Each structure stands twice: as C-alpha cells, then as structure tokens.
Structure 1
Amino acid sequence: MPLNEYQVGAAFSGVIGRTTDESTPAWPRPGRPAPGSPNVLIVVLDDTGFGQLGCYGSPIATPNLDSLAENGLRYNNMHTTALCSPSRSAIVTGRNHHSNGMACITELASGYPGYNGVIPFENGFLSEMLLGHGYNTYMVGKWHLTPSHHETAAGPYDRWPLARGFERFYGFLGGDTSQWYPDLVHDNHQVDPPATPDEGYHLSEDLVDRSIQFIADSKQVDPDRPFYLHLCFGAMHAPHHVATEWADRYAGQFDDGWDAYREKVFAAQKELGIVPQEAELSRHDPDVPEWESLPEPARRLFSRFMEVFAGFLSHTDHHLGRLLDFLRDRGDLDNTIVMVVSDNGASAEGGPTGTTNEAQFFNNAQESLEDSLARIDEIGGPTTFNHYPWGWTWAGNTPFRRWKRETYRGGASDPFIVSWPQGINAKGEVRTQYAHIIDMVPTVLDVLGIEPPASIRGVAQSPLQGVSFAKTFDDAAAASDHRTQYFEMLGSRAIYHDGWRAVCPWPGPSFTEAGVGFGQPISADRLSELDATAWELYHVDEDFAENDDVAAEHRDKLIALIGTWYSEAGRYGVLPIDGSGLERMLADKPQAAAPRDAYTYIPNTQSVPFFAGPRVLNRPHSITATVEIPEGGAEGVLLSQGSAAGGYSFFMKDGALHYVHNYVGRSRPRVSSPEPVPAGAHELRFEFEPTGQPDFPNGRGTPGRMQLYVDGTLVAESEAAVTTPFMINPGALTCGANPGSPVTPEYTSPFRFTGTLTSVTVDVSGDLIDDSESEMRMAMARQ
C-alpha cells in the first residue's frame, strides 16, 4: 500500500487525533529523481589548451577522451574566463565570474564585490540544485572556490564543498598541489595520502579510485539513484608530475619544436573539422623564440619538459578511462551526461625557459638554464615542481594567440566535449555555436527538465546568466542563444557580440610589445588611453584565430562594442578594473582570526595554509618550541612550512638543533647548533634578523642573520644572503612534522618529532633577544 506523502513545506496531509487509532499518518515526500534520470559527470581539466587533446588535433594520445568525442560532440566555440577559480565558479553556478565575486583566483581577492572571492549564497551551485531532486552529489579533486583565508581547521566551513550541496568531497582546496605529495582534504578534514610515491602513489589515480568508491557506495544501496560527480583533476596544472615510463613514451617526439607542433596540429584540426578550412594560423608570438634559434642544450631541455607534460596528459586520460570503464561495466555510461572542459587555455607560468620549480615563477626567481639542465632527469618526479616553457603554452593553444590570464582566444577558448549516448543521436560531430561555461548549468537543467530553484535553504536565488545549448545536441544548424559575452581578467578585456570580438589586451598584445610583464596596475588616466587607442576588433565568424584587426575599418562597430563592454561591466560587477598581480597577492585580507603578533601551534593538528599563517617573510621573527628531550635524545621536525619547492624547517637531528631556509629550491642557508641538546625540558628558539633590503625585481627576499638559542643562550648563528621574497607555495605550515616532500633532503618526510613537543610559537612582533655577550663570544670563536 503506498504511503501517504505530502510536499515538504506543505500542510500535513494526514489526520491527527487524540490517539493513533483515530489518526492517519503521512510522511514528508523525500526528493526523488524522475525515473530514468541520467547521471551527470562533469570533468574539469586544468590549464589544457585548445590544441592539446588528441581529438582536437594534438599528437598527445588521449584515447579515452577521443572515445567520448567519437560517441558525442566536440565544440570549437566554447569559452572560459581565462583563469582558474573564476571559470570554476561559472561552471558550477551558471553565473559570470564577477557576479560570483571571483574576478580572479581567491588568493588575489580584493575588497570589491566582484573581486572579494566570496561566492554569494544567492548564486546556487548545480550540486545544490540537483540535491533537491534526488541526486547523490560528489566533488572530487581541485576545489579552489573557498576564500584562501578560510581553508583552515577554524573555518568558516560555509563555502567548503559540503556546505555547497556536495554530499561527499575528496581532493584539495587550493589552486595546485603536488601529484606525489598532495594536500588532501576528505569532507571537512585533512588526511594523508594513502600511499607514498615509492609505493606507486599518484593523485590522479587516487582521485579516480575515490570517484569510483563514492559511486559504488551509493549504487549498491540504491542502484537507480542518479549521481552528479564533479571531477576536477589537478592535471594539467603544474607541477607536471608523472612516472618516467609515461614521459618516455614521447621521447624525441617534440624535438622539432613548438613551431612545428603548431603547424602539425593546425593541419590536423582542419582535417578533423575542428577549425574552418579557411582559417589561418595565428602569428608567431613575439615573446616566443624561434625553435631553431635556441642552442641545442635548451632544445633538449625544452623537449623533455614537453615529453613530461604529454606523459602527464596521457596518464590522466588513462585514469579517466578507468572511471568510464567502471560506468560502462555497470551499464551506466550510456545514460550519463559527460561534459569535459578545461578551466582556461594553456598556462605560461613556466616563463620563457620553463622551470623545475614553479615556486620560482611566483617569487620572480627563475632558475638558470644550466641549473634546469642539471636536473633534467628529475623533471616530473617527486623532487620537482616543474612547468614547461611558454613556447609550449603558445603551441598548446593552437591555432589561437596568447594564453591563460589573457582574453585573446588562446586564454579563453577551450576544448569542450559532450557525450550522452542515450540522449544525443549525433556521434563524432563538431558543433560551432558560440557558448560560454556559464551555459553548462542551464544546459544540464534543461535536459533534466528541472527548473532553476527560486530559493535554496531559504535564500532567494539570482537568475542564471547563461543559456542552454541543449538544442545543439542534435541540430548542428541551431542558432546560438548566447549572443553577447564580456571578458575581464587582470586588466585584459574583451567583448563578443554576434560574431564580432573586440579585445583590449593588458599590458599589451605581448610582453615584448608592451615593454613590461604581467601584473601591471592600471591608472584611470591609463585606462582612458587604452579605451581610446588599444582596443582591437576581429570578425571571428570569418577570422577564427583573431589575425586581422579591423578596428580602423569598422570604427563605429568597435565604439559600440566598447560601450557594450561597459554596460556588461556595470551589470555584472566588473568595476573597478585592476591589472595588478603582486599587489593583490600581498595585500592584507580579512582573516578568520583577529590580527596578532604571536601564533601558537600544537603538534598532531591540521596543517595551516600559507595565507592563514604568520607572515614571516622579509621581517624579523622568532620560532620558539617548548620540548622535553628524553634520555638518548630526540629528533624530528618542530615546525615546518612548505616543501622541497621552498620553505623552511626548524628541526632536530643527531641530537643537534637546526634551521634550514629553502630558497625556492635554489639554495638552503642554514644554521646548526655545534653541540647536542641535552636531555630534559628546554626552550628551543630560532630568530631571524634582517640585515639588508630585499631585491624584489630580481626575486631576492631580505637577507638576514639566523640565530639559534637554547634556553635563552645563543648557541649558533649564520647569515642568509637571500630568502624567499613573496610566497611559499606549496605553503602549508605544520607543527611537529614535515608532511609531503621534505623542505630539506637531510631527512625523510614526515620526520615527526620523537620527543615531547608541547607547542611552538611564531612571533612576528620584531621582539628579538639582545644578547651582546653571547654574540661577541660567537664572533670570537669564528676568528
């Protein structure tokens, strides 16, 4: 007999008498999916360019992605915001990135509504929408949608995945992480990886294992309940980490260079119908050297960087294939809507020569070619945080110009695959309709027959800003309903309307032509100059790769498009325009805790992200540990921050006290006590006192004096000629251990402290010990 049910929020539909024998029960109706509701699988790749997947003309093997394309559709006119967090927010909400407060990555948030990194609750997530219709909802992989200062054990947790409609989460909260030693979170707490690199661990495999587990856990209980899995690989973002055997599959395949790669990929794209036959390849980028102009050692190094990237992509495809095989074997794949997209174009964060350590890019401290060559056999392994040179970035975005962070099509046009065998009749076809990632949520809701909710958890919802492109699934000739779309990223702007695209690059069409690099602020006077002289105009319906600037011939159209850009900017909260990078990175932001000069940490607690920890760089500071050393001695980390890519560690080994500062993997100034610390209770202290000025333009942080104290007595000192200037990335701070890759090769992680560690206090007040007698004694001992 069916149960008497009533809609949640409606009046009770049963009868309540004095006792149960004169009453009739009724139950709140649970959210149930419509019979036959398809599963939804959205796969977000990171930093993957238009010309890097096999089914988009690349020589890199991606057979599983190719298979999805063969059984579905490829779009050649899908657009992103050109950067990570902004795109990811648009994908899950169906609203523009400034409307989400995500003008930039969360780490570069600033105090304006479109820029503060706080996605408003009136912009509901797809997970929240589907949860009310009986879907299980899973988030696996990269998140990067929580304000960076909220990624702590103190929360607040209201913008973590579980608070935004995902029932289960396994992945990492920040923008990147090591594939070998990731910073993992399970639901709302940190966890260690289940294995080590020596045991064969890799994050991509782990993420797919967890995806399969989440689905299987539910399906064994309710096999008819559909799921929504939002799977965001750390790949292809740096570090490009993969086992040597995967990279070696591509040995020698890129020796002819990025110019040749572009020509081959462009020809393949025409053959595949991905680009129009009349399309022209974009110009040679002025920031990229001709391959043949490079010396042989540079070509050898740069080829290896690309071999590792290619192996990483094929490895990612392989593990995605395991998930697809799991769904296929269960009979679920045919009724799963699969959408695959990248968050932006290929990334240029490796700089002109690439790097074995991306932390050098963020600290303006690029290593020399000779130093990179010395580590060529390590590239892709656990000791590196590598990224290829931006010549491969440019090639990866074939046929377009420029790259991630910029609003030419190379930054904002990406591969997009849709597969749904049970719901899409067309197979292996290309779609050319204009689309933007804000259209993904409306499209999913459209095909599921679900109306956007008027409210979620009592919060009235804003209108979706994207439009459905579901009608293009089986109608290649359908007109696009997305007629106008603005772009803004770090001061670069663009506007699309009905086949025309106006672009205002910042700081210019290339760094070479602008004479300055990325991250330059824009003054009001300069903005007026840009609006008067710097906008370019392309008829992209006829000029696929933005080659022919027709601004002079169509001045009236350009002026109208600039006006439209400002109209859209006002509508979606784009102002004020901000081209700065470093200034936004270093600017003070509200913290979960009130500002203070002393930070006390306790062992066996969760690590603290860089942006929520004490700012010790370029300033006097001290680290004081309260310990009990047992008879026979103790060893291990007292406090560490960072990884092999850079950071510092305060630790004991061989009975002695040590401090090592890892300057972006290039040098490791240190100080060590000459004698073992005796058994008993002690106060162990490190102090840093600046002795000069930083040289930020050349990537050199403040030099200083490093001192060690035991119970207030100076026992050792040395000089650090250079320190990290801007940020430690990865930058987790941990008390009592060094999880992940070790800051210094002197020990093996996690190197937990074996004595009794009560607490460690970091003091940034500048209050240092003044012990002139001990300093004189130390000076005399060095004579």
Structure 2
Amino acid sequence: MGYSDAGCYGGEIATPNLDQLAAGGLRFTQFYNTARCWPTRSALVTGYYPQQIRRDGMPGAPRNFGGRGKRPEWAKTIADYLKPAGYRTYHSGKWHIDGEPTKNGFDLSNPTTRGPGFFETTKKKSRDPSYYETIETADFAIECLKEHASEYADKPFFAYVAFRAPHFPLHALPEDIARYRDRYTQGWNVLRKERHERQQELGLDVAELSALEPQVGPPYAFPDQIKQLGSGEVNRPVPWNDLTAEQKEFQAMKMSIHAAMIDRMDREIGRILDQLRSMNAMEETFICFLSDNGASAEIMVRGDGHDPTAAMGSAETYLCLGPGFSSAANTPFRRHKTWVHEGGISTPFIVHWPGGIKAKNEFRSSVAHVIDIAPTILDLAGVKAEVTQGISMSGKSLKQALLKDGAVVHDVLWFYHEGNRALRQGDWKIVYADDVNAGKRGVEKEDIYKVKWSLYDLSTDRAEQQDLSEAELERVKAMVSRWDQLRTKFLSEATQN
C-alpha cells in the first residue's frame, strides 16, 4: 500500500474508516517501514531492526540471515511480553515471521491464507466461492473479540490484525472492482498530480512532486513471466500518453483492482471497529495502522499462474500493480518497495486513542519507524522490555510524540535491503540504490565508501530531487561512517544466541 492510497493521505480510494480514525486521532507524516514485508513485520512485533535479529541481510552477514532467518531467543514479540502481564493476545492474517504465532505469545491465531492468492487456490477440486482472504482476516479478528467480550471481559487484549491486501496478486471481488472500473483511464501522470494537490489541501507536509523515473522498472527481472501477461503489460513508468490503447486499458484496470482491494480492507476494518464499539472499547483501545512497505513495482507470475482469458482480478489471474501506478500510489515520493528511497519506506501511520490522546485530526512530524511500535505499546501498557546480553530494543516509545508535535524520537534511522542503503540523521538523508545488483547480495563492507551515495535535505526536498553530495562531501563521509558503525553493531548483536 502506497503512502497516498488512503483518503486521509491524499488518495481518491474510499477509506472512510481509516479517515475517521485519522480525524479522531493523529497522522504521522514522516513514519518509516523497512521497504519489505517480512523485515517490517519482524521489526513491528519485536522493536528491533530486522538485521539485529537475523530477519534481513546486510553486508558481511551469514547466509542464514534474511527471510528465512531465525530470531535469537532474546528477540521476544509484543505478545510474549503482554501475555504474562495479563493480556489476551490475538493474531489474524499474514504472519511472515519466523516461528508460529501461538508459540510466540499469541493465545489464538488464524493465518487465513488458503493459497497464493486472495481466493482459495484454483488447484483445489472444489473451491469455496464465498472465501475472500481480506474478509476472512476480519472475520477471525471479530470472532476473537466476541469471545473476549463473553469470556475474558475482565482482561485487556492485544490484537494484531495483519491484512495482506493490497499485495499481489491483484484479486478483488467483482462488486468492489465495479466501483473503480473507469476511474483510472486518465493514467498515472494525472493521478499523481491529483493526489499531490489533495495532499497539499489536506495540509500534509509533502513538498514537491518527484519526477517519474522511466528507467526504473521492477526490482527483479521476469521477462518470460511478463510475456505471459500479454501486450498490455508495461514494465516502466513511461509517460501515459506513450502507451497504446490496449496498454492504457490494461494498466487502468490493474489500478482499479488495487483500489478495490484497499476499499474492501477499509470496509473490513470498519466491521472490526463496529465490534469494538459494541464492546464499549473504542475509548480505551490504542489503535494504529500502517503499511509494511511502499507500493510495489514488481511484475511476476506465481502460484496457480495467469489465465489471460479470465476476468482481470479473478482467482485465475495473477496481476501486479507495476511501476507506473506504483509511482502514483507512492505520491509524492521516489521509487517503490525494496528501495530505501522515500517511496519504498514512507508509510501512512494513523494513531487513534481517544482515552489517551486529546488531540484530534492533527499531524505529527516526528521522524519515527516501525521499530517504535513495540516499545510504545509496552510503555503504554506499563510493561518493561528486557535487556538481554546488553542488547536493548532499537525502537523508542512514541509516547511524547503522541502528546505533542515535534518530539525528537531518534538521532538516526538506519536502512538496508538487498543492497539498497540509507541513513537519516535529522533532516539529512544519504541513500544508495544498488540497481546493478538488485535482488543479489550487496557489495561488502570495504566497498561502501567507494559507491556513489546521494545526499538530500529532507526539510526542503522529501522528494529527493536535489543531490547535495558533491557540495557536502564531509557530511556524506561522516554519515556513511555512521551507517557502517551501526551495521557492525547489528552484526555483532545478531550473532549472539
């Protein structure tokens, strides 16, 4: 999900429930994830950078780091802490973290996935026509809350509801697609301008609109699979008017499905909120919402394959948003999921807690990160995180940032994913994109000073359009050194049992 997809962040997609949460609470404008799904989820539930706990790679790291890495025993989840403190703990939806939820602090869990797509896998002889994963995710979350209200009303609860939408494949219910069928025929150039204007009207501090990068395609090359998708597919964000009529129709329909998936997710969030209201729990429930990475430029065919004769968005198809409309979803920022430019790591972050936050419909400009969610929840719950083998959570409690705008949470934020690197220090950010080796192991430690790092002043250039590295060479050197110091620290911590 991109930074600008929700209505309260400038999108045209109907997200009334998210918008209502924002109107009754806070919207962070400089909140970050890790650029990829599984590292973000491990950081979210533990409060550590994923590299600290072997859940993503980095230069010099052993090969057992990454998506299949196993956390050290000291890297507990939020649920591991809250359960012994008297909380009932529930998980519904995507997991994508090592281990099983019920062996990592959760009383109840339903991963909900029944196949590679959002409908039951088409390889089954009898497919349940009523199953749609986003609805199932909400159904189980609501079941947990109903059981809680009837059997554990005297206990507090923690619910981790992890919708997979709008991840590829683009699968949506026909009635949801119908609401957006002709919405995107003007293309991504127009949509980006519309969203940027709306962001400015909303008061989001987003600066200028980044330029499209027609040379930047999907982070991984699947030319044979792209051919399966037919001549309507486009793997570069070229100007909309350069496309053929067939390509325009195909691309616009994909964006319609993406929008439909988000629309449905918001509707299901609404059902969960209704359940909280029926329990008289809205006032004292701390709710936060975010995306695990920016919108995706990936194009591939997985799972049960793609039938080009089937209705787009149905179980028999396998479609991905691609770099054109991904650029619009990430308005106004550059690039996409897997990159650590602002488009890959910037997320909407909505916080709603009427009983604890007096502010309503306010923005928060504090620079913060998904690693801060676990320590924030533990702080608000009065639960102390452990310091094991001298290793503390990298995340910080956002309590002061929730109460007042401008609170400084971090001195620096560190980023790495598949060769892409960044460091944010105050308003300054260095970034390096490993486009040549995308998807491969990045250059090793001794080479990080030789590659071309870019430098941006995000106080005036969140869109990362003006590279100041040549004029600020000493600043770049100091920030690169700091990036490497943290890499060394994380590697040392991650190799402890």
Q: TM-score, normalised by structure 1?
A: 0.57
Deviation by residue 1:291-320 (Cα, 9 ceiling, x = unmatched): 000001110111111111111110111011
Q: Output the CA distance in 2 between the equivalents of 1:337 and 1:111.
A: 38
Higher RCO by CA contacts (8 Å cutoff, separation 6 or greater)? 2
Which residue identity lines up with residue 347 of structure 1 in the other structure?
A: S
Q: Decide which structure has greater strand share.
A: 1
Q: Output the CA distance in 2 between the equivalents of 1:182 and 1:321.
A: 27
Which residue identity lines up with residue 254 of structure 1 in the other structure?
A: Y
In structure 2, the residue matched to 1:144 is: 96
In structure 2, the residue matched to 1:481 is: 409
In structure 1, the residue matched to 2:392 is: 463
Deviation by residue 1:715-750 (Cα, 9 ceiling, x = unmatched): xxxxxxxxxxxxxxxxxxxxxxxxxxxxxxxxxxxx
In structure 1, the residue matched to 2:474 is: 556
Contact residue 386 and residue 392 of structure 2 kept, 8 A: no
User: Relative to structure 1, is the Cα distance of residues 127 and 552 closer, same or farther in structure 2, using a 3 angstrom cutoff?
Assistant: same
Secondary structure in 2 matching 1:300: helix
Q: Output the CA distance in 2 between the equivalents of 1:340 and 1:97.
A: 20
In structure 2, the residue matched to 1:262 is: 192
Contact residue 49 and residue 346 of structure 1 kept, 8 A: yes
Which residue identity lines up with residue 455 of structure 2 in the other structure?
A: L
Q: Output the CA distance in 1 between the equivalents of 2:211 and 2:355.
A: 42
In structure 2, the residue matched to 1:236 is: 166
Cα offset for 1:385? 2.3
Contact residue 294 and residue 347 of structure 2 kept, 8 A: yes
Deviation by residue 1:469-503 (Cα, 9 ceiling, x = unmatched): 111222123x2121211111000101111111000
1:389 pairs, out of 307, 312, 322, with 322
Which residue identity lines up with residue 568 of structure 1 in the other structure?
A: L
Give structure 1 regions of 4+ aligned residues with deviation exceeding 2 angstroms: 109-116, 195-198, 357-361, 516-525, 530-533
Cα offset for 1:112? 4.7
2:438 pairs, out of 515, 518, 530, with 518
Q: Decide which structure has greater helix share.
A: 2
CA RMSD of aligned residues (A): 2.7
Which residue identity lines up with residue 431 of structure 1 in the other structure?
A: R
Q: Output the CA distance in 2 between the equivalents of 1:273 and 1:103.
A: 35
Describe how 1:443-454 pairs up with structure 2 within 5 A: 443-453=376-386
Secondary structure in 2 matching 1:255: coil
Secondary structure in 1 matching 2:273: helix
In structure 2, the residue matched to 1:687 is: none
Q: Output the CA distance in 2 between the equivalents of 1:260 and 1:574.
A: 48
Describe how 1:616-765 pairs up with structure 2 within 5 A: none
User: Relative to structure 1, is the Cα distance of residues 182 and 86 closer, same or farther in structure 2, using a 3 angstrom cutoff?
Assistant: farther
Q: Output the CA distance in 1 between the equivalents of 2:113 and 2:97.
A: 8
Cα offset for 1:128? 0.5
1:123 aligns with 2:75: yes
Deviation by residue 1:517-540 (Cα, 9 ceiling, x = unmatched): 732444559x73x63341000011
1:434 aligns with 2:434: no
In structure 2, the residue matched to 1:413 is: 346
User: Relative to structure 1, is the Cα distance of residues 172 and 567 closer, same or farther in structure 2, using a 3 angstrom cutoff?
Assistant: farther
Q: Output the CA distance in 2 between the equivalents of 1:359 and 1:390.
A: 21
Q: Unaligned 5+ residue runs, structure 2?
A: 216-236
Q: Output the CA distance in 1 between the equivalents of 2:488 and 2:291.
A: 27
Secondary structure in 1 matching 2:248: helix
1:202 aligns with 2:120: no
1:72 pairs, out of 7, 18, 25, with 25
Which residue identity lines up with residue 554 of structure 1 in the other structure?
A: E
Identity of aligned residues (%): 31
Cα offset for 1:444? 1.2
In structure 1, the residue matched to 2:41 is: 88
Secondary structure in 2 matching 1:546: coil
In structure 1, the residue matched to 2:218 is: none
In structure 2, the residue matched to 1:335 is: 284
Cα offset for 1:104? 5.4
Deviation by residue 1:93-130 (Cα, 9 ceiling, x = unmatched): 0001101101159xxx9635577610111011100110
Contact residue 52 and residue 493 of structure 2 kept, 8 A: no
Contact residue 88 and residue 145 of structure 1 kept, 8 A: yes
Q: TM-score, normalised by structure 2?
A: 0.89
Contact residue 144 and residue 173 of structure 1 kept, 8 A: no
1:179 pairs, out of 118, 125, 137, with 118
Q: Unaligned 5+ residue runs, structure 1?
A: 1-47, 147-158, 184-191, 362-366, 508-515, 577-783
User: Relative to structure 1, is the Cα distance of residues 501 and 85 closer, same or farther in structure 2, using a 3 angstrom cutoff?
Assistant: same
Cα offset for 1:378? 1.2
1:224 pairs, out of 139, 143, 154, with 154
Secondary structure in 2 matching 1:304: helix
Q: Output the CA distance in 2 between the equivalents of 1:564 and 1:51.
A: 31
User: Relative to structure 1, is the Cα distance of residues 210 and 474 closer, same or farther in structure 2, using a 3 angstrom cutoff?
Assistant: same
In structure 1, the residue matched to 2:462 is: 544
2:52 pairs, out of 76, 99, 107, with 99
Q: Output the CA distance in 1 between the equivalents of 2:62 and 2:112.
A: 23
Cα offset for 1:323? 0.6
User: Relative to structure 1, is the Cα distance of residues 196 and 264 closer, same or farther in structure 2, using a 3 angstrom cutoff?
Assistant: same
